[in-house]
Every structure is written in C-alpha cells, then in structure tokens.
Amino acid sequence: MITKQVNNVILSPFGDSALLLKFSDKISPETHHQIQQVTEAIDRNVFTGLIEYIPAFTSLTIIYNPLKVKNAYGSLLGATLTPFELVGHLVTDILTKLEAEVEDTSRTVEVPVCYGGEFGPDLEYVAKFHQLTIDEVIAIHSEPEYLVHMIGFAPGFPYLGGLSERIATPRLEAPRLIIPAGSVGIAGMQTGVYPIATPGGWQLIGRTPTQFFRPKEHPPSLLKAGDKVKFRPISLAEYHSQLEVNTL
C-alpha cells in the first residue's frame, strides 16, 4: 500500500517509520476539528508501537516503531504486510469508527502582552502599513480569541489562527538573527509567540512575560493544538512585575 483514501483523508508513507494523514489543502476550523477528532480517537485506541503523533495545520503525522508494529500485528493482520501497511490498517479502522463529536479538552489561556517600545519594534510599521494608529493595531490584535493550530518551528511555538486581515502584515525581508523569548509577532495571516530566543522574520509588536516553553515541566509546552489564546494588553510596569513572578 503506497497511498489510500479513507473518509476523504489521504494516507501515505512519510519515511520508513511514519504515516502521514492529509485532511485538506486549506487551513480552516473544520480541518482543525477533523484532526482533533482523530487525535482524540488515537488517544482512546493507542496501538502497540505508537511513538507519537504530530498535528499540523492540515495534516497529522503518526510516528511508530516498525519492529514493534510488525511483532504485534503481523500474525493478526497479515504476515506479508509491511509495518506501514499494518499501521495503515489500524488507522483506517480508527477513521471509519470516528464518533460524531469529540470531547473538548481545550483551554482558553490569557496571555498578557506589553505592546510597542523596545518590545515591539515593528508595531509602528504595522500601523503605517495599514494606515491605522498604534492603539488601533493593539485593539485589533488583542480582540480575537485565537486558535492554536499547531506547535512547531521552535519548542512551544504556537501557530495561531484568527488574526484579522486588517493587521495581516508580510514577514520581514531579512530575518533577525535573534528574537527575544516572549516576543509576539505577525507574519501574514498568522500571529504567534517566540518561546525561546531564536532567529525569526516575523513583525514584532510586543512581548509577554508568560513562559511558553518550560523544559522542567511536563508537558514542557504551555499550549497544545486545540487550545485558545486571548491576548491582554499590559503596561511596562506590569510586564516587569509579572516577569519577576514567573522567573522565581
């Protein structure tokens, strides 16, 4: 089996120890909901050899141990089947038995943000780009409740959907070599938060004292796919006060 389609989901190999499920070519709340349905179903039906699954905007990657899968299911499902085909059978069974609804285990996380100044060197550019005032950009950015579509790029980095087209702004032409941890940025129709100091090309509009990557905790990422984020503007004094508390 190279590629097959089940309930409009395309299953294909992704290397020699992973299965890729493609749900759509477009990012949408509906696609996100489908992916959440499948991840919830996998959690309820964990198969031998499963290592982890990685949800993305329009796909889900399932990583497995080929030897464990073969030993556990080869005699049951077919001795001549490859580990990929065996996992394909298991996932197909999950897809065909999906429940109509999935339990909502998401959270809404409030994230304080100090906008502008040294924390948001691109805020003025974003305002001028859209012929808005700085206060209008802050109000527009902090108004929605954003959906966490996926975690990636850097440990704990949330890709958030729901940014208003009124402040959607292209990336920088030349990425910065270092973006401070906690920086809040815009890139096209997305917004996100840099969890660690890293290079990046997003337009920086503010910074949060909230730690998004906490390596000593389990799980280390503050957010997970399916969570929601609400930004709350704070003053510089509040930023330093909360940063001090968060780093104790």
pTM above 0.95, yes or no: no
Residue-level pLDDT at 11: 94
Tell me: pLDDT of 4 over 80.
no
| pLDDT at position 206 over 80 | yes
Residue pair 136/201 in contact (Cβ under 8 Å)? The answer is no
Residue in 113, 105, 88 with CA at minimum distance from that of residue 184: 113
Instruction: State the pLDDT confidence band at 2, using cuts at 50, 70 and 90.
Output: low
What is the model's pLDDT at position 227?
A: 92
Per the DSSP assignment, residues forming a β-bridge with 109 are: 229
Q: What is the residue-averaged pLDDT of the chain?
A: 91
Give CA 63 to chain center in angstroms.
Answer: 17
127 pLDDT more than 60: yes
With CA atoms as reference, report the closest residue to 161 among 42, 43, 56, 50.
56
Residues 61-95: tens digit of each pLDDT: 999 999 999 999 988 887 789 999 999 999 998 88
| Distance from C-alpha of 223 to C-alpha of 12, rounded to nearest angstrom | 28
The DSSP string of 139-200 is HHHHSS-EEEEEE-SSTT-EEEE---GGG-BPPPSS-EEEE-TTEEEEEBTEEEE--SSEEE
Please indicate whether residue 135 or residue 39 has the higher confidence score (pLDDT): 135
* pLDDT tens readout for residues 187-202: 999 999 999 999 999 9
If one compares 135 and 244, the residue with the highest pLDDT of the two is 135
Residue 230 contacts residue 108 (beta carbons within 8 Å): yes
Dihedral sign computed on CA atoms, order 199, 204, 209, 213: negative
pLDDT score recorded for residue 99? 62
Quick: pLDDT tens for 102-116: 555 678 999 999 999
